[in-house]
Structure 1
């Protein structure tokens, strides 16, 4: 369902992502901190990579980055825009990657459509693929002090999470929290708080 929904808006989404790229210097700082944590340690997967903007940015920061997305249309756009990078169609819940093979995982707003009951399975898969000392950077809509909430996203139903709850799910899968960042929405964005978690596998 999510893949089909993003297939239908792939071109518009790619244009939107390009337009908002320069609005968030705080997020660029977070991506750089993530890159500094994993550079030179092995491959890095951008899971839910969409049209590949962030995969390419991670490569520009010196990472051996590749992208995975459920949407074939998104992967086609990513391959066309960045022919020198590796992109694959696949589900981040069940990737054909060896255990402990990744130095880093970027999951930037790619879990927002995941039903809450399924999220522990995703964290377990992240832990399986992560090498010891590997890092996960997770971006999401943050609930702003409210409980877990679903909302009508432009593409399909999405969720805003308290970061404490997400950190708890990550801890149950074996990750430790390195840090977290919150930011408020900017003009033109949905009036919702944003958050990210940087996690490490011991």
Structure 2
């Protein structure tokens, strides 16, 4: 396992319980973010299996399942998966990495990466996006959402040594400008159908980016 993945796994095992208690479920999102997530639900419900990669404690997977999506969750952290299995016992969850999902080509109707890719070093993102393309069926949908850099910027990298109330972690966050993420998705063979960039909330510094894409049928 790559060094950054091992550090992420250890870190999120450490913070998993606090994370599960403090991070809101999708019902607590702002109206616009929830609307985009609901649009992804509408596109994938009944279409086949959707993988929530970087599913954490399973709150988003539960939201999708309650709205008719056939969802499976995958997370690098065994502790996160343990919590997800306990809180969403009707759904399947597995320990795994988005760098190698262990699924056959074209197995999925959708991939959701919800605030789960910003710890990936930029040099590894092309392989991650190619993996999303590989496991999606032709016509399959991708929703990628998370923190991004300011549009037109060079992006930002931040090193974290503690999080969630001072717990020890060891990982980086990479805030890429949205136009760079779009180019990387396109280079992986995905057609980006929509991009939404939300300004930081009052008192916050981070932009939010949401990218909807599809694996072309041809």
After TM superposition, the score normalised by the length of structure 2 is 0.88
> Which 4+ stretches in 1 moved above 4 angstroms?
none
Distance 2:44 2:89 in 1: 24
Whole-Å separation in 2 of the counterparts to 1:62 and 1:23? 20
Aligned position for 1:152: 159
**Aligned-pair CA distance for 1:37:** 1.3
CA 1:42–1:26 in structure 2 vs 1: closer, same or farther (change >3 Å)? Answer: same
Distance 2:86 2:202 in 1: 30
Rounded to whole Å, the distance in 1 between the matches of 2:140 and 2:102 is 18
Corresponding residue SS for 1:180 = strand
Cross-structure match for 1:134: 140
Task: Report the count of equivalent residues.
Answer: 201
Alignment partner, residue 9 of structure 1 = 15
TM normalised by structure 1 equals 0.94
Q: Does 1:177 align with 2:183?
A: no
1:17-64 Cα shifts (integer Å, max 9, x gaps) = 137851422111111111111222110000000000000001112100
Q: Provide the C-alpha distance between the structure 1 equivalents of 2:66 and 2:34, rounded to a whole number of angstroms.
A: 12
- Whether the 8 Å contact between 2:113 and 2:143 is mirrored in structure 1 is yes
Question: Are residues 1:200 and 2:214 paired?
Answer: yes
1:92 to 89, 98, 105: 98
